[in-house]
Structure 1
């Protein structure tokens, strides 16, 4: 029987077969938490689940968001459908 190393992300208990992917996922979740906290501190009345979804969406799409801020705002809309799938993937990984 072979032994295979796995990495566990302690933020959401996701398992990864390589350390780089686990660390990248952990950094994305940390960014999502900070985005969620920023929105929560500055905008009243946003539902907690909506805050989490917004944080995850922006964190997953951080590269596209950065390019949009640098003068290509149309990129945000071009990849909108695939980003929704990414958020669903994260939520299912948490369950």
Structure 2
């Protein structure tokens, strides 16, 4: 018999991530917390976005916080995008 330890990250009652690595689970949980804060900040600045778009945007910004910091310090988007593999987000053109 094998005993397997799994760490499950739940966010707003939904299972988002499962791993056997506690550090990885903690990092993912922290990323989701940062994304929540970004979403609140964006809404607080007066932007009204569809809830799913806001969540996707907030998570993307949170996952790419290091690149975002470089952009805020003056690095160009072209140089960052050419040096990293960008996550491609498909947009439902019917909703856009």
TM-score by length of 1: 0.75
Larger radius of gyration: 2
After superposition, the C-alpha distances for 1:2-59 in whole angstroms (9 at most, x for unaligned) are 1111111122422111100000000000011110111111123322111111101100
Distance 2:22 2:64 in 1: 21
By percentage of residues, which structure has more helix?
A: 1
Do the aligned residues in 2 keep the contact of 1:28 with 1:60 (CA within 8 Å)? yes
State the number of aligned residues. 86
TM-score by length of 2: 0.74
Query: Which has the higher relative contact order, 1 or 2, with Cα contacts under 8 A spaced 6 or more apart?
Result: 1
User: Structure 2: 5+ residue runs without aligned partners?
Assistant: 91-96
Q: Residue 64 of structure 1 aligns to a residue in which SS? A: helix
Structure 2 vs 1, CA of residues 80 and 31 (structure 1 numbering), >3 Å: closer, same or farther?
Answer: same
